[in-house]
Amino acid sequence: DTEVTQTPKHLVMGMTNKKSLKCEQHMGHRAMYWYKQKAKKPPELMFVYSYEKLSINESVPSRFSPECPNSSLLNLHLHALQPEDSALYLCASSPRGGTSGGYDEQFFGPGTRLTVL
């Protein structure tokens, strides 16, 4: 299995809702990432997990809460989002964790298209 899967594909939520995005990979990768991508822009790094521990948080607002329950699974919990948080949320993984991960390509999922009303 060489895929990164993300669910749901689309999500519409109100500003008071709580929802979660899910990402899964079964390639044995030790680093996993969340990116936010606005239309016609490059992906912006949000969080990096290395060996299931949060290693990078790019000053993301606390209304976004990541979780890595095991080495194959990555969640992004959403609460009290704003309309400007509407975007494509991409999950990615790479084979090695730690600084060695910087040498590696990232494998991206198809993304979750999030709309906040």
Partner 1 sequence: AQSVTQLGSHVSVSEGALVLLRCNYSSSVPPYLFWYVQYPNQGLQLLLKYTTGATLVKGINGFEAEFKKSETSFHLTKPSAHMSDAAEYFCAVSDRAGGFKTIFGAGTRLFVKA
Q: CA-to-CA distance for 18 and 14, rounded, in angstroms?
A: 9
| Candidate list 41, 57, 61, 77; residue touching partner 1; CB under 8 A | 41
Q: How far is the CB of 31 from partner 1 (least distance, A)?
A: 10
Bridge-based pairing state of the strands 4-7 and 18-25: antiparallel
Build a one-symbol-per-residue string for 49-88: x at contacts with partner 1 by CB under 8 A, - elsewhere.
-------x--------------------------------
Contact range with partner 1 by CB under 8 A, out of 12-20, 64-72, 73-81, 102-110: 102-110
Residue 43 binds partner 1, judged by CB under 8 A: yes
Residue 38 binds partner 1, judged by CB under 8 A: no
Provide the strand spans (E) within 51-106.
Answer: 53-57, 64-70, 73-79, 87-94
Q: CA-to-CA distance for 21 and 9, rounded, in angstroms?
A: 9
For 85, the 3-state DSSP assignment is helix
